[in-house]
Amino acid sequence: MNAKNAISVAIITLLSVAQGLAQKLNSDSLTKPNSEIMTIVMTQPKVPIKTIGILVYDGYNTLDAMGPYHTLAEIRGAKTFFVAKQKGMVKNQRGMEMKVDKSFDDVKQLDILVIPGGAVETFMQTQDTVTLNWIKDIDKTTHYTTSVCTGSWILGATGLLKGKNATSNWYRAAEMMAMYGANFKKERWVKDGKYWTSAGVTAGMDMSLAIIDDMMGRKYTEGVMLDLEYDPKPPYQAGIPEKSDPIVADMMKKMYDMVMLPLIEKEKKNRQSKKKNLVFAQ
Amino acid sequence: MNAKNAISVAIITLLSVAQGLAQKLNSDSLTKPNSEIMTIVMTQPKVPIKTIGILVYDGYNTLDAMGPYHTLAEIRGAKTFFVAKQKGMVKNQRGMEMKVDKSFDDVKQLDILVIPGGAVETFMQTQDTVTLNWIKDIDKTTHYTTSVCTGSWILGATGLLKGKNATSNWYRAAEMMAMYGANFKKERWVKDGKYWTSAGVTAGMDMSLAIIDDMMGRKYTEGVMLDLEYDPKPPYQAGIPEKSDPIVADMMKKMYDMVMLPLIEKEKKNRQSKKKNLVFAQ
C-alpha cells in the first residue's frame, strides 16, 4: 500500500460518514487534506486496538450501549460490535430489537470491553454466572475493561472491582460499589488501571472520549468530538442529584427504590449470610 | 382509575427503569413518593403527545436517532417508535441492524416527528420523493416536526424549512440551509414555530430535552436529566469548528468534502438550472 492509499484508508476508517463510499469517488478531483496534517492528527494508538465489544442483554439501556458504540467506533483500525450470551435479536429496555451477530462462544478476546447498564435486567445479570464468567475470561485479554451506569454492578459482581476505585449510576452508587468491594469515587468516570467505570447513561460518552484521549491524544479526540458535534448545552445545570431540585431528586430516588430496592436488600442479605457462613466455617 | 392508581401509572410511564416490573411488586411495602410531590413534578404536557416517530433509513447515524429516541421516550403517555419506508431490518451507518415494525403506510399521524441525519445515505433521502412526500403528509398532523444533524437536509428538501430559521450539522451548514431556502442560525438547536432543528449528532439530545422542557417544564425536565445522568463533562472545549484546533477542524472539513462535496455541487447545479428554466418559462 503506498502512502497516498494509506492516507485514504486512514480517512475512511476515522470518518464514519465516509464508510463504504470514498472508494467509489475519484478522489483526485477533490480537495484533499494535507498528508503532513494527517500525520499530526492521526496518531497511532498507545496500544493496538482491534476489537471493541459491547455486551448487550435484554433490557440494556439504549444510550448506555449506543453512546460508547458510536464514540469508540471512531477508533481507526478497530472493529466495534455487539456481543450477547446468544446470537440473535436482543431487546433494549423499551423493546427495540437489534440483531447481534456474536455470542459469548464467538468472542474469546477483546481489546476493549464495554458493559452497559439498565435496571432489573441488569441486576439479573449480576446473578448470571455464565455472563460473569465470560466477563472474567475476556478481562484477561483486554486493554480496557469498562462499564457504564449500572453496568458497574455487573462488573462489580464479577469481583474484578474489589479494592479498585470505581463509580456507577448516581442511584445508591456508594452503597452498591461498597457492596462489591470497590472504593466509590463520585466522578463522571473513574479510571483504575485498565478498569474504567462511568456514571449513568450519558456519562458513557464522556468516558469513551476520555479513553480515546488516553490512547490517541487531544487532536484525534477533537476530531471525534467534531464528528459527534459534541459541544453539549444541557437546558439546566442538573443531571445529578446535588445539582437538581431536591423535590425532583427525592422523587426519582423513591421511584427507583420502588423497583430496585427489594432486589438490592435481598442481595445484601445473601452476601451477609455468605460472609457469616464463611466466618462460621473458619 | 383512582388517584393512587393514576400516580402509579404516571410513575411507571416516566421511569424507563420501571417498565414492565412495577406492577409485579407489592408497592404497599415500599417507600413511595409523596403524591403531592408527584403532582408538582408530573405536569401535564402543553399539548397531548401520544405518538413519537423516529424516521430511519439504511445509513442513519446511530446517535442522531438513539439520542432523541431515548430522551423523548421519557414523555409519559406517549409511544416512541421507529418508522421506515418499509418494515423490517434497517441498518445504521456501521451496519448494526434494527428491526423496524412500522412502515410509511402504517404511520399516518405523529405528534412528534424526528428526522436523523447521516452522510451519503442521508443525501440520497433528499432525492427520494416517497420519503419527502411522507414527511410532508405527516407534518400536517404534528405538534413538533424536528430534525437532527444532516437530517435538516432531508427536512429542507421537503420545502418545509423555506423562510424558516434552522440549523444542521456544522459541515457547510450555512450553505446547505441557504440551498433549502432556510435562514441559518448558528445555534445548538433552533425553534421556528413547530419546526425544531438541531446541530450535529449529540445536539439531538439537547434539542429533545428542550422540547420536553417546552412541553412539561423544568421539574419534569430535571427528572429526565437525572434518568440520563446528563451532566456532561467533555474532555475538551471543542466539538464545533470554532472551538477546535484549526488543524483538526480543517482536516475534518476536507475529509467530509471528499465524500460529500461532489454530491452537494451536483445538487446546487440542478437547483440553479431548475431556477433558470423557471425564469425562462416566465
Q: Give the model confidence (pLDDT) of A104-118 as tens digits.
A: 999 999 999 999 999
Question: What is the model's pLDDT at position B34?
Answer: 58
A96, A201, A219: residue with CB nearest B228: A201
Q: Which residues contact A145 (CB under 8 A, 6 or more apart)?
A: A113, A135, A138, A139, A155, A160, A194, A195, A196
B81, B54 Cβ separation under 8 angstroms: yes
CATH assignment of A51-227? 3.40.50.880
Q: Do the beta carbons of residue B167 and residue B117 sit within 8 Å?
A: no
Q: What pLDDT band is residue A68 in, cutting at 50, 70 and 90? A: very high
Contact yes or no for A230 and B239 at CB 8 A: yes
pLDDT > 70: what percent of chain B? 83
Please write the tens of the pLDDT for every residue from B117-133. Answer: 999 999 999 999 999 99
For residue B26, pLDDT over 50 is answered with no
Closest in A66, A250, A259 to B17, CB measured: A259
* pLDDT, tens only, B246-274: 999 999 999 999 999 999 999 999 998 88
pLDDT at B35: 61
**Weakest mean pLDDT among A214-228, B199-213, B267-281:** B267-281
Question: Is B80:B218 a contact under the CB 8 Å cutoff?
Answer: no
**Contact predicate B232/A232, CB 8 Å:** yes
Mean pLDDT, rounded, for B133-156: 98
Tell which of B13, B14, B120, B202 to mutate to test the A interface (max A CBs under 10 Å). Answer: B202
Q: What is the pLDDT of residues A142-175, one digit of tens each?
A: 999 999 999 999 999 999 999 999 999 999 999 9
Name the grid cell of B123. 443525501
Distance (Å, rounded) from C-alpha A50 to C-alpha B21? 39
pLDDT of residue B105: 98
CB distance B258–A30 less than 8 Å? yes
Residues B101-111 have pLDDT tens digits of 999 999 999 99
The pLDDT of residue B28 is 37
Candidate from A91-105, B29-43, B79-93 with smallest mean pLDDT = B29-43
**B11 contacts: CB under 8 Å, gap ≥ 6:** A255, A258, B18, B22, B33, B38
- Work out the end-to-end distance of chain A between its first and last CA atoms, rounded to an integer number of angstroms: 65
Contacts of A200 in chain B (CB under 8 A): 227-229
CA-CA-CA-CA dihedral for B196, B202, B206, B211, to nearest 10: 40
Which pLDDT band, with edges at 50, 70 and 90, does B33 fall under?
Answer: low
Instruction: Please give the single-letter amino acid code of residue B97.
Output: E
Residue B265: phi and psi, rounded to 5, are -60, -40
State the pLDDT at residue A211.
Answer: 96
pLDDT band at residue B32 under the 50/70/90 scheme: low
Cβ partners under 8 Å of residue B203, min gap 6: A229, A233, B148, B149, B188, B189
Mutation choice for A interface testing from B96, B99, B219, B236 by most A CBs within 10 A: B96
CB distance A200–B229 less than 8 Å? yes
Comparing B97 with B48, which gets the higher pLDDT?
B97
| Chain B CA closest to residue A242 | B226
pLDDT over threshold 70, residue A137: yes
Nearest CA in chain A to B9: A255
As a whole number of angstroms, the distance between CA A227 and CA A225 comes to: 5
For the question of residue A149 being annotated catalytic, the response is yes
The answer to whether A17 contacts B93, with C-beta atoms less than 8 Å apart, is: yes
User: Which member of A206, A252, A258 has the closest CB to residue B234?
Assistant: A206
Backbone angles phi, psi at B100, to 5 degrees: -110, 125
User: Is the predicted pLDDT of residue A131 greater than 60, yes or no?
Assistant: yes
Grid cell of A31 as nine digits: 480537495
pTM for the complete prediction?
A: 0.88
- Report residue B146: phi and psi, to 5°: -135, 155
Residues A63/A201, Cβ–Cβ less than 8 Å:
yes
Amino acid occupying residue A275 = K
